[in-house]
Amino acid sequence: MKIFKQISPLKAHLEAARLSGKSIGLVPTMGALHKGHLSLVEASQAQNQITVCSIFVNPAQFNNPSELLKYPRTIEKDTEMLKEVRCDVLFCPETEEMYPHQSMIKLDFDPLDKVMEGKFRPGHFSGVGLVVSKLFNIVEPDHAYFGQKDWQQFAIINQMVQDLSFDITLHSIPTLREPDGLALSSRNQRLTNEQRPHATVFHRALTLAKHKLLEGERPEAVQAVVKNMVENEPGVTFEYFELADSTNLNSIKNVEASNRPIMCIAGYVGEVRLIDNMFVE
C-alpha cells in the first residue's frame, strides 16, 4: 500500500494509473476505522483496479469544537487495517495540506441540509460538501463509496455530484452492525462499558417503528412511541426521529408516499452523539 500525505505526489501517482486504463475508487473516511469502513474498501476493490482510502478529520464539518478534539484518531492502527485488506493507496493529509488558506466558501443544500442532522448541526453539511469536493477534485475517482448509516450525507453528496457535474458514480453500502444491532461507528469507541448496552436503543426503536409503520400505524403515533422508548433508556437523550423520502429527505405522512421511505434517528448516550437509520420495506 502506498501512503501519501501530500496532494501533488498522489495526483501524479493516480494520473499514471488512469493513463494505463485503471479505474479508481475512493473511500473517504475520518479514520478510527472499523469493519464498516473496510466493507467500503472491499466494495471498491470489487469494482476498481485502484482503491484510495482517505483519512482526514475535517475541521470544517464540526460545529462543536469539543467534538473535533474528542474525535478518535488512530492512524497507526488504521494503516495496519488497510494493509491487511490490501488497500492500494492511503491518503492521510494534515489540515494545512487540505486547507492551506482560510476557506471562504459556504455551501447551501437547501432544503436537504435544513432537516435532521442539518437542523441540529448547522454548517455541518457545508463542511462535508467542501471536503468531499476537494477529495473528488484531488483523486478524480470513477466511483466513490459511502456508508448507509450517514444517509442524509449520501443524499446531499449525490445532489452535489449532479449539480456540479462530477463524473463520479456514488455507492451507498449497507450499514454493518454488532450482533446486538448497534451500528458500527467510530464514535462507539467513546462509549463506556456501562453505556454500551443502552446504545442499542436506537436500533431497537427503529425495528419497532418499522414493524408499526408496516402495520399501518400513523407516523405521528410511531414517533411518540419511539421518543418515549428512547427517553426512558437510562443515560440516553432523544434528539429526533423522522420518516422521510430517502431521495429528497422530505418528511412523509405515510410509507406509501415514497418509493423508498427511510426512518432516521439521533440522540446522545452520555456525551456521545449517535445516529442510525433503516429503510421501511
Catalytic residue numbers, as ranges: 37
The reply, when asked if residue 195 is annotated as ligand binding, is: no
The reply, when asked if residue 176 is annotated as ligand binding, is: yes
The reply, when asked if residue 199 is annotated as ligand binding, is: no
The reply, when asked if residue 33 is annotated as ligand binding, is: yes
The reply, when asked if residue 185 is annotated as ligand binding, is: yes
Q: Please state the separation of Cα 230 from the chain's center in Å.
A: 22
The reply, when asked if residue 246 is annotated as ligand binding, is: no
The reply, when asked if residue 187 is annotated as ligand binding, is: yes
The reply, when asked if residue 34 is annotated as ligand binding, is: yes
The reply, when asked if residue 159 is annotated as ligand binding, is: no
* Binding residue numbers for (R)-pantoate: 61, 153
Could you list the residues known to form a binding site, using ranges.
30-37, 61, 147-150, 153, 176, 184-187
Q: Binding site for ATP: residue ranges?
A: 30-37, 147-150, 176, 184-187
